[in-house]
């Protein structure tokens, strides 16, 4: 059975992955010049930040 703590641990692991993905997209974004590709990687990085906020909301929910 899952406990509140195991859910929090799980979501914290997901949060780490989301941050790593954002970091990777930002690295690529800084390494390319093509405007269309830059727009794609900027959007992807923004989506990862959105994911992070949603995962953080779940962590906060379980910490109540």
Q: pLDDT by residue (tens digit) across 12-28?
A: 999 999 999 999 999 99
Residue 28 counted as domain residue: no
Model's pTM, two decimal places?
0.89
Question: Residue 37 and residue 56: Cα distance in Å, rounded?
Answer: 29
Question: Residue 19 and residue 33: Cα distance in Å, rounded?
Answer: 23
Length of the chain as a residue count: 64
Residue 21 counted as domain residue: no
Encoded tokens for 24: 């990777």
Distance from chain centroid for Cα 54? 9
Count Cβ atoms within 10 A of the Cβ of residue 55 and give its class: 0-12 exposed, 13-18 middle, 19 or more buried: buried
Q: Which domain holds residue 62?
A: 33-64
Number of domains making up the chain: 1
- Using 50 as the pLDDT threshold, list the residues of the chain that sit under it: none
């Amino acid at each position: 059975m899952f406990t509140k703590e195991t859910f929090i641990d799980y979501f914290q692991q997901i949060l780490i992955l989301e941050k790593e993905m954002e970091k990777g997209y930002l690295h690529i974004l800084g390494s390319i010049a093509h405007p269309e590709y830059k727009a794609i990687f900027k959007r992807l990085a923004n989506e990862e930040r959105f994911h992070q906020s949603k995962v953080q909301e779940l962590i906060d929910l379980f910490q109540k």
